[in-house]
């Protein structure tokens, strides 16, 4: 068998401490300290047929266990993130938020539970108007809320102590995919040296690197949210002398890592430059298609 160098031994040790990667599970190799890349279909295929049924059962068990773990993580991440709220939100602060994220809602309510009094500005997040939803929830929980239009974000940023948003996904370089309009808020926050905090459960980490994030990682929604079809039907007729009309309605926005001050995940607060290590924790190197 191949001589094992120090690096290979370290890789093998890492793989035993972690749950099995999907590739090793599907190849059917039993867990051992061998190098993951040795071919499995060679010598032990004969012995495999004998205990194939027990292997299948083990495989199913492992996969179900993995999925259960993931479900628990998703359900529990809100509390763990909200526990850290008290360190970051102080008395008489003004917080700006965008869109509607349950993590942000729990975060702010946890700070309120600990008797910190603060105000929240919510940008309405047209054209989905998720800010309205969040404002309704916040008011129901007793927080002082003000709804502002997205265009007023730059005007109000000088009056704000902190910007907190929830992420849709966190990329391998520490960049954030968030609701549309967060890049505008992040740029304004940088100009006024306001901390820009992103809340993300660890299940939101993504091992991909965003090469052209505006286009590739985005989703375009129906233009009817912006323009009523009936109202503009006379403009949609591409007759002679009339210009063409297009409508752009993206769902997500990309924020580069240099604009983010802090990530708060269920494992604690991190720098954007650290996020790639967390990805190594949750994804095995074999599973990543690079």
Partner 1 sequence: MLQAFQEVVKDYSTPPENTLNRDMTAQISSYVSFLIECRPLSISMGNAIRFVKNRIAKLPITLSESEAKASLHSDIERFINEKIIGADTVIVEHAVTKIRDGDVLLTYGSSTVIEMILVHAHELGKKFRVFVVDSRPKLQGKLLLRRLIKRGINCTYTHITAISYIMHQVTKVFLGASSVFSNGTVYSRVGTACVAMVANAFRVPVLVCCEAYKFHEKVQLDYSICSNELGDPNAISKVHGREDINYLNGLTNNAKLKFLNLMYDATPSDYISMIITDYGMVPPTSVPVIVREYQKEHLLQSSKIVI
Residue number with CB closer to partner 1 (5 or 233)? 233
Handedness of CA 281, 282, 284, 285 (dihedral sign): negative
Measured CA to CA, the distance from residue 84 to residue 259 in angstroms comes to 21
Residue 129 found at the interface with partner 1 (CB under 8 A) = yes
Closest to 100 (Cα-Cα) out of 74, 117, 123: 123
Residue 218 found at the interface with partner 1 (CB under 8 A) = yes
Closest to 89 (Cα-Cα) out of 104, 100, 73: 104
Residue number with CB closer to partner 1 (135 or 275)? 135
Residue 184 found at the interface with partner 1 (CB under 8 A) = yes
Residue number with CB closer to partner 1 (180 or 279)? 180
Residue number with CB closer to partner 1 (133 or 285)? 133
**Burial 164-190, CB ≥16 within 10 A → b, else e:** bbbbbbbbbbbbbbbbbbbbbbbbbbe
Residues 42-101 that bind partner 1 (CB under 8 A): none
Measured CA to CA, the distance from residue 209 to residue 288 in angstroms comes to 11
Residue number with CB closer to partner 1 (43 or 140)? 140
Residue 235 found at the interface with partner 1 (CB under 8 A) = yes
Q: Which two tokens stand for residue 32?
A: 């051992």
Return the residue of 35, 187, 208, 262 that touches partner 1, per CB under 8 A: 187
Q: Please, what is the end-to-end C-alpha distance for the chain in angstroms? A: 28
What is the crossing angle of helices 102-113 and 52-83, to 10°? 50
Return the residue of 246, 277, 289, 290 that touches partner 1, per CB under 8 A: 246
Residue number with CB closer to partner 1 (16 or 224)? 224
Residue 254: CB minimum distance to partner 1, A: 7
Closest to 83 (Cα-Cα) out of 57, 113, 58: 113
Residue 172 found at the interface with partner 1 (CB under 8 A) = no
Residues that bind partner 1 (CB under 8 A): 121, 124-127, 129, 132-133, 135-136, 139, 142-156, 158-159, 180-181, 183-184, 187-188, 191, 214, 218, 223, 225-228, 231-232, 235, 241-250, 253-254
């Amino acid at each position: 068998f191949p001589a094992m160098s120090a690096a290979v031994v370290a890789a093998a040790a890492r793989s035993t401490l972690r749950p099995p990667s999907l590739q090793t599970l599907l190849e059917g190799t039993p867990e051992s300290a061998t190098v993951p890349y040795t071919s499995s279909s060679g010598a032990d295929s004969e012995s495999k047929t004998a205990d194939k049924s027990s292997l299948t059962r083990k495989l199913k068990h492992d996969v179900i266990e993995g999925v259960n773990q993931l479900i628990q993580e998703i359900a529990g991440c809100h509390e763990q993130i909200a526990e850290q709220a008290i360190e970051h939100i102080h008395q008489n602060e003004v917080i700006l938020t965008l869109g509607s994220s349950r993590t942000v809602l729990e975060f702010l309510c946890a700070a309120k539970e600990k008797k910190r009094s603060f105000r929240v500005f919510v940008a309405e997040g047209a054209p989905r108007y998720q800010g309205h939803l969040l404002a309704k929830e916040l008011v129901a929980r007793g927080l002082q809320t003000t709804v502002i239009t997205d265009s007023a974000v730059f005007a109000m940023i000088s009056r704000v102590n902190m910007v907190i948003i929830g992420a849709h996904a966190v990329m391998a370089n520490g960049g954030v995919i968030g609701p549309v309009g967060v890049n505008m808020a992040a740029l304004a926050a940088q100009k006024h040296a306001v901390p820009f905090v992103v809340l993300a459960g660890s299940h939101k980490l993504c091992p991909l690197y965003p090469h052209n994030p505006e286009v590739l990682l985005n989703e375009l929604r129906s233009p009817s949210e912006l323009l009523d079809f009936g109202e503009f039907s006379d403009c949609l007729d591409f007759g002679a002398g009339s210009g063409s009309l297009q409508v752009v309605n993206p769902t997500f926005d990309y924020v580069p890592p240099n604009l983010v001050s802090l990530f708060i995940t269920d494992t604690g607060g991190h720098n954007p430059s650290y996020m790639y290590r967390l990805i190594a924790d949750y994804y095995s190197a074999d599973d990543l298609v690079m």
